[in-house]
Amino acid sequence: DGGITQSPKYLFRKEGQNVTLSCEQNLNHDAMYWYRQDPGQGLRLIYYSQIVNDFQKGDIAEGYSVSREKKESFPLTVTSAQKNPTAFYLCASSIDQGAGEAFFGQGTRLTVV
């Protein structure tokens, strides 16, 4: 079945460590996105990529980095520079950069202790 797979579902890291969240899709979508969700707030865009080897900062990119070496994969690294990394992270994809329907993964809950 086609879809988006995020792993792991839960992740614990010590403060000061970088951590990479995985996002893989087999929908043949060009566009992929990373969102952050905090309690009581709407999802906020961290980074997005419209095509392989290209990505753009979203609204809250500071302290995060991404890569898009393959169409299927869009990993997100939460660096030690991110001041408040504990959150729920969602990956999404859409068929193109236009107003296509978005498909979401199951999310990764990151807790930094």
Q: Does 86 bind other proteins (CB under 8 A)?
A: no
Provide the minimum distance between the beta carbon of 16 and other proteins in the complex, in angstroms, as a whole number. 26
91, 32 in Cβ contact below 8 A?
yes
Provide the minimum distance between the beta carbon of 62 and other proteins in the complex, in angstroms, as a whole number. 17
Instruction: State the Cα–Cα distance between residues 60 and 90, nearest whole angstrom.
Output: 14
Per-residue contact string for residues 66-85; x = within reach of other proteins by CB under 8 A: --------------------
Residue whose C-alpha is closest to residue 78's, from 68, 60, 87, 65: 65
Per-residue contact string for residues 6-45; x = within reach of other proteins by CB under 8 A: -------------------------x-x-x----xxxxxx
